[in-house]
Structure 1
Amino acid sequence: MLQLESLFARNPVSPALKCAVMAIGGAEDKVRGRQILTAFVQRSGGSDAVIGVIPSASREPDAMGRLYHDIFMEIGAKDVEILLVADRSDAESAEILAKMARCSGLFMSGGDQLRLSALLDETPLLEQLRTQVWQGQSVLAGTSAGAAVMGHVMIASGGSNEPPNRSLVDMATGLGIIPDVIVDQHFHNRNRLARLISAISAHPDKLGIGIDEDTCALFEPDGTVRVMGKGAVTIVDPRDVNYTNFSQVEVTSPLSIYNLRVHILSHADCYNLNTHQVQHQSSSLPSL
């Protein structure tokens, strides 16, 4: 029998935020309506927004930085800083830290979450980023890999088209912006439910957040997660799980998990991280 009560007592699912964090499932609309990216700029100050782009997860960070620079300027931001961290020494640069300090919004691009974590983990830049977000100085958004790194632990890689099992997912250390969640991206688009369940089975004190493409899980300071975009956000909640064979079976054997709770939320639906209740709030977001 798996006992979860003590785990949740040690690790409450309650982000220490004073402004919004936007976890985007990847492939967000960059051309037409740009609903999610526009919402990010608006949350960051609208015409007064100074956006800092961190393109370090990308294999072509210069090109990725320029792409988002142009998008955010076209949306109407006041200024855009490209915070180019190509190696860990850049994450200690006084010049880059000074640029980041003036940003009312910070945006982490897609790419490889392991690369992003390796470049930023335990650096002055990450410490300052957390401070700016947690103290309400900067709105944070991350897409694809930039969303996957939000938790204290993250999915580094994994498979699909198999039942949940211990070998299906590889975990690594994330950036700990919202420590008590595990975020997966491109979710239903790449059939990733089994790997998120596998990750949660290994870390039953966390809450699973699976985000579809062109979809955003918007974490509010009051503990509400609001869904925005074309797809769905899947919540995998293990709080009521009373049995799993995770520690008893071979790594490739299917897992048994009893009383796992799953919610599928679409645009304008909400999930309360404090009460673990779902809510539809159609008046809170513009229609698509």
Structure 2
Amino acid sequence: MLQMPTMQNRETQLQSSYTPALTKTAILVIGGAEDKVHGREILHTFFNRSGGSEAVIGIIPSASREPTIIGDRYVQIFEEMGTKYTKVLDVRDRDQGNDSVYLDYVEECTGIFLTGGDQLRLCGLLAETPLMDRIITRAQNHEITVGGTSAGAAVMGYHMIAGGSSGESPNRSLVDMAMGLGIIPEILVDQHFHNRNRLARLLSAIASHSELLGIGIDEDTCAMFESDRTIQVLGKGTVTIIDARSMSYTNQSQVKGSEPLSIHNLKLHVLCHGERYDLNSHQALPLK
């Protein structure tokens, strides 16, 4: 395991020894339950895109009700991979989103990882704080790699699915919406997707937000957003993409509660490992 400096001098050592890693940044949106034990393909990809052995990673476990346990677990994983330095940003109240130590650390980071838990809790603690604003700016400027799993994936869009049910026909009562963090504003993410039968839930959300691209991500699966505006699929499951830009009709404004929704003229893609999607042309790209 990587030997870490003491608490008293670790920040000073970081600032004096840090040089930016030449790496290709990305935003990794992970459907949850990613492999943490065996091949760790998705987490290795995050590690490599954050700079590999030169990576300086911040773990944000604020979505979890056990942030210390969850944070330490990811620290151990990334240290075993060989990061230069990994630290937990243990934000438990909104005032910590203005903590100068955390803000300084984010300036040195090459990767930020948002863990699972409760997406409402994560947004309640971090949305519109200086800390999260700086992370979002650096991610959108392609200066840093960001990964989010489960709840950390749900918050990626400006709008997010905060909760709801599954296993029913699409209907308005099936999904609860809230504001997300807006790291990738134009998407609407649902996680643990086919594993928890959430297609109807995502369709219900898209019916009232047809301007957004619906992204349903299975467990141990990642939709990796590249700087060239393509999405690459990693992992053992699928990524379902719902394009509602040409939606011609929905009865969403007429029905109530659990009455079924009709939604006409959607385009749906199901992508497997290695396949890509072009966000500019809105075309799925098969394996070469």
TM-score, normalised by the number of residues in structure 2:
0.91
Cα deviation code 1:7-47 (max 9, x no counterpart):
xxxxxxxxxxx931000000000000000000101001011
Query: 1:213-242: per-residue Cα shift (whole Å, max 9, x none)?
Result: 000000001110000000000001101210
Matched with 1:121 is: 127
**Secondary structure in structure 2 of the residue aligned to 1:22:** strand
Question: Separation in 2 of the partners of 1:252 and 1:186?
Answer: 23
Please tell me whether residue 19 in structure 1 is matched to residue 25 in structure 2. yes
Indicate the RMSD between aligned Cα atoms, in angstroms: 0.9
User: Does 2:254 match 1:248?
Assistant: yes
Correspondence 1:159 to 2:165? yes
1:212 aligns with 2:184: no
Q: Give % identity.
A: 58
In 1: Cα distance, 2:38 partner to 2:145 partner: 23
**Which structure 2 residue ranges, 5 or more long, are not aligned?**
1-23
Aligned counterpart for 2:36 among listed residues 24, 30, 39:
30
Cα distance in 2 for partners of 1:81, 1:281 equals 37
- Regions of 4+ moved over 6 Å: none
Q: What is the distance in 1 between the residues matched to 2:272 and 2:254?
A: 36
Deviations 1:121-157 (A, max 9, x none): 1110111111111122210000000000000000000
Q: Are residues 1:232 and 2:238 paired?
A: yes
Q: Secondary structure of 1:53's match?
A: strand
| SS in structure 2 of the partner of residue 58 of structure 1 | coil
Q: Which residue of 2 aligns with 1:143?
A: 149
Which of 100, 106, 112 is the equivalent residue of 2:118? 112
TM normalised by structure 1 equals 0.91
Counterpart for residue 18 of structure 2 = none
What corresponds to 1:39 in structure 2? 45
Partner SS for 2:172: coil
Q: Which structure would you say has the larger RCO, counting Cα contacts within 8 Å and 6 or more residues apart?
A: 1
Matches of 1:77 and 1:38 in 2, distance apart?
A: 11
